[in-house]
Amino acid sequence: MIELSNIDVSYDRMQVIWDVSLELSEEDTVVSLVGPNGAGKSTLMKTMSGLHPVDSGSVTLWGDDVADLDPGEIVQHGFVLVSEERNLFGEMSVRENLEMGAYRQRDDIDARIEQMYDRFPILEERSEQRAGSLSGGEQQMLAIARGLMSEPKILALDEPSEGLAPQITDRVFEIIDEISDETTILLVEQHVDKALDLADRAYLLENGQIVHEDTGQGMLESDHVKDAYL
Ligand SMILES: Nc1ncnc2c1ncn2[C@@H]1O[C@H](COP(=O)(O)OP(=O)(O)OP(=O)(O)O)[C@@H](O)[C@H]1O
């Protein structure tokens, strides 16, 4: 579905990604990208969603070069990024935020909102409330639900548990597990143990390079990962 081939990425003249190749296929449920702060995980996600260009190499979605697509077309191709910042419309209601998530696909919006309310009952309770007034956990659920409104084939989640209490974090991981039955998840998470536990495959990124690829379980058992990240 998505393929990165030998990509290099820089900010101004500082190179932060070096010769990275990875792919996600229809068979994947959860693919986790782990590594220390500053390794380049968010940058890779931004590159995949067309928000940051590559210096060399290519990023393709279903065979089309991402560089030739605008961000809306990338969503239509089935790749949605829920970034760390969540980017909700704080002054708009929960329901309006969900409607915005479907801006590229206006059919059956009400039915899809109902599906989201079934999966996230708290959002139905808060339906008419301003998104900005929700708790951190509720905002994260809204950000995920809004991402799902366009029925992506790949949902990329950048640090979904950022700033959340442990109990809410556990709920967010349960939700990711549920969603992964229908949608491939690309996950970046500071809770490395949880991210690997859910993952069918994982990549370890250090200093902008992929240094290890394995199953989630294999990575959990790796001495290097255990020593450095668990
Ligand atoms: N907008 C930017 N301008 C300049 N440098 C940046 C920018 N964003 C990220 N970087 C740098 O690129 C490198 C990779 O950052 P990135 O945020 O992708 O890492 P990360 O693995 O997601 O880390 P974290 O877990 O801390 O978010 C870091 O050295 C970072 O300082």
Taking the domain 2-78+152-229, which CATH number applies? 3.40.50.300
Atom 18 (ligand 1) nearest CA: 40
Domain boundaries, the chain: 2-78+152-229, 89-150
Q: pLDDT tens digit string along 197-228?
A: 999 999 999 999 999 999 999 999 999 999 88
Q: pLDDT tens digit string along 24-66?
A: 998 999 999 999 999 999 999 999 999 899 999 999 999 999 8
Res. 104 pLDDT band, cuts 50 70 90: low
User: How far is the centre of ligand 1, averaged over its atoms, from the C-alpha of 37 (Å)?
Assistant: 8
* Nearest atom in ligand 1 to 190's CA: 25
Span 97-109, average pLDDT: 83
Residues in the chain: 230
- The DSSP H or E segment spanning 60 is strand 56-61
Atom 31 (ligand 1) nearest CA: 38
Span 173-195, average pLDDT: 94
* Residues pairing with 186 in the sheet: 31, 156
Give residue 213's Cα distance to chain centre.
Answer: 19
Q: Which is it for strands 201-206 and 184-188: parallel, antiparallel or unpaired?
A: unpaired
Q: Is the pTM of this model over 0.90?
A: yes
Contact 146, 95 (CB under 8 A): no
Residues 6+ apart with CB under 8 A from 24: 1, 2, 31, 154, 184, 186
Contact 149, 76 (CB under 8 A): no
On average, the pLDDT of the chain sits at 93
Give the type of residue at 129.
Answer: Q
Reported ipTM: the value is: 0.95
